[in-house]
């Protein structure tokens, strides 16, 4: 199994190495992180194409094994957090005396992550899937 770790620009969609994100044999499976600069994604190579033209290309790393792919997922792709019950979360905040002002200025993703870190119920953590 092989994959590409690719730097990309979230504003333009341009990938390093002029890699086409619509290539049906380069599948991402949600492994993107646009919260870092440069943004990165991991795309599994689902055919036997020659990747030698990408060796040494700035912003492209060839991952040559399942272990290398999973190590890259662990290093670059953070878990995602979501509030699945705002009611339960707010009730738990009241029980734990956590003021609503603790979340001022945060976007919903940041709120969900902080709520998870505080151990509030009603919040889910979704870790990125690994290759098998």
Domain positions in the chain are 2-76, 80-126
Below-70 pLDDT ranges, the chain? none
Q: Please give the pLDDT value at position 108.
A: 92
Q: Please give the pLDDT value at position 71.
A: 98
Other Cβ atoms closer than 10 A to 122: 19
On whether the pTM is more than 0.95, the answer is no
Q: Please give the pLDDT value at position 115.
A: 97
Q: Please give the pLDDT value at position 67.
A: 98
User: What are 68's two structure tokens?
Assistant: 């290398």
What is the distance between the alpha carbons of residues 44 and 8, in angstroms, rounded to a whole number?
A: 16
Q: Please give the pLDDT value at position 7.
A: 98
């Amino acid at each position: 199994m092989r994959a590409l770790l690719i730097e990309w620009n979230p504003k333009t969609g341009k990938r390093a190495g002029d890699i086409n994100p619509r290539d049906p044999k380069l599948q991402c499976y949600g492994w993107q992180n646009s919260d870092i600069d440069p943004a990165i994604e991991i795309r599994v190579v689902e055919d036997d194409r020659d990747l030698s033209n990408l060796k040494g290309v700035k912003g492209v790393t060839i991952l040559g094994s399942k272990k290398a792919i999973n190590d890259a997922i662990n290093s670059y792709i953070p878990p995602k957090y979501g509030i699945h019950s705002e009611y339960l979360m707010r009730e738990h905040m009241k029980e734990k005396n956590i003021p609503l002002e603790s979340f001022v200025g945060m976007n919903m993703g940041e709120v969900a992550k902080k709520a998870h870190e505080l151990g509030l119920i009603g919040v889910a953590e979704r870790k990125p899937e690994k290759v098998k």
